[in-house]
Amino acid sequence: MVGDDTSTSGLSPDEAFALVADETRLGILRTLSRADEPLAFSTLFERSDYDTRSNFSYHLDKLAGHFISRTEAGYAIRQTGRRIVEAVLSGTVTEDPIVHRKPTDRPCPFCGAPVEVSYQQERVELFCTECAGFFRQEASGPQFATEFGTLGHIYLPPAGVQGRTPTELHNAAVVWSNLESLGLSAGVCPRCSGTIQQSMTVCEDHATEGVCAHCDRRYAALFEVECSTCHYSSSGIPNLCLLAETELLAFLTDHGLNPLVPETHERAPGALGDYEEDIRSTDPVVVALTFTVDDDALTLTIDEDVSVVDVTRERGTESA
């Protein structure tokens, strides 16, 4: 007896993982995700490596309802089943590639030196070879004589490493991160579609030259996002919370800079990273951020809820 197709509620994550932690069942999900139409039992069975129909039917019954549905036309994969296959194919649950620090063709937004990338534990780390970058980190390996500067890290599934040069890996990480930021900035969790809470904290004793000794960051204002549903959280520079702001997007595109095409940032690599910060007030928090490209400057004033309360755009003399 096949389970009721509407009964997806009441399955705990433990139970869900237990149901798919089986080669045969993963095989069924992969076959159905490749098919562009529902498959009859006999077709599905033929495409499997299984040799006993009754046992195969048992596995199929376990998946029915939660991960696959049975219609008049046959078995079809549900969105939850597709997500399992995507996680397996992206390498998220199976692979653990490592890339040691390698130079890219991309310049640091602050000093123009080549950015280096590394990859481990599903994380692309971006380093500047010359300056302190965004954050100071303690030396964590024999390759670092002392502390070093990092330009941030970006979570990227292992599939993002496959067949890419260091520069291509850097670009893929920037696109992946900006895609996430667009969702986060618009208040929607890129992982689960739940509601994102945005906040901003300010280092109250910030040194404005280089990287601050109190907070180990270049900028006093740190932007933070957290999903109220799936525990996703991240922190970093303003694009995390502001990338979907119409004024910021308009400013970038006016200069031919597209957040999803890293190559367009080659002529102005500091557009989103090398900005001016003016802490107008710490209680309540009010911060003005000025982004500059060529002679054009955009200032966004933000309150403690990360709402933009004022927008000023000043064009240089030649374009006024």
Residue 192 is a binding residue for Zn ion (CB under 5 A): yes
Q: Is 151 in contact with 133 (CB distance < 8 Å)? A: yes
Residues 241-300 that bind Zn ion (CB under 5 A): none
Residue 230 is a binding residue for Zn ion (CB under 5 A): yes
Stretch binding Zn ion (CB under 5 A), from 3-11, 61-69, 130-138, 158-166: 130-138
Residue nearer to Zn ion on the CB measure, 124 or 212? 212
Rounded to the nearest whole angstrom, what is the least distance from the CB of residue 188 to Zn ion in the complex? 9
Helices 13-20 and 23-34: crossing angle in degrees, nearest 10, is 90
Size of the site for Zn ion (CB under 5 A): 20
Residue 26 is a binding residue for Zn ion (CB under 5 A): no
Q: Contact with Zn ion (CB under 5 A): which of 64, 85, 128, 237?
A: 128
Residue 127 is a binding residue for Zn ion (CB under 5 A): no
Rounded to the nearest whole angstrom, what is the least distance from the CB of residue 308 to Zn ion in the complex? 23
Residue nearer to Zn ion on the CB measure, 130 or 310? 130
Give me the 204-223 binding string for Zn ion, x by CB under 5 A, dash otherwise.
--x-----x-xx--------
Residue nearer to Zn ion on the CB measure, 152 or 194? 194
Q: Contact with Zn ion (CB under 5 A): which of 16, 35, 89, 111?
A: 111
Rounded to the nearest whole angstrom, what is the least distance from the CB of residue 60 to Zn ion in the complex? 31
Q: Contact with Zn ion (CB under 5 A): which of 34, 191, 280, 315?
A: 191
- In the block, which residue shows the tokens 């129909």? 53
Q: Contact with Zn ion (CB under 5 A): which of 2, 19, 88, 131?
A: 131
> How do 276-282 and 123-128 pair as beta strands?
unpaired
Stretch binding Zn ion (CB under 5 A), from 11-19, 51-59, 127-135, 241-249: 127-135
**Structure tokens given for 247:** 């004024």
Stretch binding Zn ion (CB under 5 A), from 63-71, 84-92, 195-203, 282-290: 195-203
Q: Which residues bind Zn ion (CB under 5 A)?
A: 108, 110-111, 113, 128, 130-131, 189, 191-192, 194, 203, 206, 212, 214-215, 227, 229-230, 232
